[in-house]
Structure 1
Amino acid sequence: MKIINIAIADDEQLFRSGIRFLLEREANINVIFEAENGEELINFIKNTEEFPDVILMDLKMPEINGVEATKTLHKSHPNIKIIALTSYDGKSFITNMIDVGASSYLLKNASPKKVIHTINKVFEKGFYYDDRVLKIIHENIISSTGKRIKSDLDNQLLSKREIDVLELLCDQYTTAEIAEKLFISPRTVEGHRNNLLAKTQSKNVAGLVIYGIQKKLIEISPDFY
């Protein structure tokens, strides 16, 4: 059994104590640090020899807030997965946190079972979004005026044509519509779709969308309200 090392960043001591008590009842979870703001968390990461696998990050904190802390840590330590755990449920908050590198987004009124499930999924897969967050992400992609990022083809794992198909799938075009837009046959579109699923180890189009976001092949500018 692999132990998941956790750090908690939240300015409310009572909440930190409560979530720590919940987590430490799990045999595979070990809380290694608590921070009351983003600055304290970043300083810990800079100086520690024992890194957390997963950080539970509040959004509104003094000194450095959760968005800025996530952005900083995602750049300096991309292997550390960050789960937003907050009382803010607005669409702009969700897309903003995911845009700067959060691997999941939870509300503080989530059930203990859901919190534990999300931590385990993020540790196993690198990300986990529930249906509501997936819907918001998808709506943002559809409505965003931002350009898709095409320069990084994930070390050539995906071909340019597969990226084209991925973008159109994200825009909710049907197989026939994609075929018409790209001047290829529907059968070829299905072939590209199956290749995308296999290469990214995704089970469905939602999984492809998340893969594109995580690999920065799809941009989700936080301009959707």
Structure 2
Amino acid sequence: MKSNILIVEDHELTRFGLKTAFESCDFIDKIYEAESAEKGLEIATEQEINLIIMDLGLPGMNGIEATKRIKDLNKDTKIVILTSHNDEQEVLNSLKAGANAYCSKEINPKRLIQVVQSVLDGAAWFDPSISHIVLEAATKSQNIAQTKSAKDYGLTSRESQILKLITEGYSNIEIAKELFVSINTTKAHVASILQKLEVDDRLQAALKALKERLV
């Protein structure tokens, strides 16, 4: 099934380059564009958007606030932050707002397409340049002693194995291939993991697993 994406970027040349890159992708149906967060919100409300590529430094409302509002409207909409900013607070605020991926604008276009495919499939992705920020934030408030284990949450050995792959950014398809199981079996395990950890999505599961050292 093809997906509709929305590019929210105030620089016309960057927007054009992104649109051109994704026009050749066979998994993309329609590509929408917005030069501001306000316009992006309008499109996200009126159209069926599966994934949004969001800049942070937008005129008026910034990308973090736009991400939060869009997630409030529809938590299933995937959001990929694409920015030149690697400020620690902006990274953490973006993830807190619900972003599914955080990419530097220096990313190779082919790699960005791969990231978008993975996020559409349910994966979370962090640019290597900011991964240390995510890990430090996840463990900052954690005591050296582990307070809970995977067994405390009722996770099976297979679910623990899948949770580890989720923290490494594997998509459902990649997990299925890695473990030689069907995609439906993988989805069932992921759903069970989210329920047992009492989180809403894979990103929250990954952060909780890192923070509480479940993997």
1:118 maps to 2:115:
yes
Task: For 1:57-136, list aligned pairs within 5 A.
Answer: 57-136=54-133
- Which of residues 164, 175, 191 in structure 2 aligns to 1:203? 164
Offset of residue 76 of structure 1:
1.1
Runs of at least 5 residues in structure 1 that lack an aligned partner in the other structure:
145-170, 183-188, 219-225
For the pair shown, which has the larger CA radius of gyration, 1 or 2? 1
Match in the other structure for 2:183:
none
Query: What SS is found at the alignment partner of 2:61?
Result: coil
Match of 1:16 in 2: 15
The structural deviation recorded for 1:26 is 1.4
Percent identical among aligned pairs is 26
Deviation at 1:85, TM superposition (A): 0.5
Q: Which residue of 1 aligns with 2:175?
A: none
- Structure 2 residue aligned with 1:55, among 48, 52, 56? 52
| 1:142-169: CA deviation from partner (whole Å, max 9, x where unpaired) | 225xxxxxxxxxxxxxxxxxxxxxxxxx
Q: Is the 8 A contact 1:197 1:203 kept in 2?
A: no
Q: What is the count of residue pairs matched by the alignment?
A: 180
Q: TM (normalized to structure 2)? A: 0.71
Q: 1 CA distance for matches of 2:156 and 2:97?
A: 24
172 and 193 in structure 1: CA distance in 2 versus 1, 3 angstrom threshold? farther
State the alpha-carbon separation in 2 of the partners of residues 17 and 9 from structure 1.
11
* Aligned counterparts of 1:136 and 1:21: Cα–Cα separation in 2: 32
Q: Distance in 2 between matches of 1:24 and 1:205?
A: 29
Give the partner amino acid of 2:32: F
Please name the residue that 2:3 is paired with. Answer: 4
Contact 1:32 1:52 (C-alpha < 8 Å) held by counterparts: no
Contact 1:134 1:206 in 2 (8 A): no
Look up the match of 1:137: 134
**Aligned residues of 1:23 and 1:30 also touching (Cα < 8 A):** no
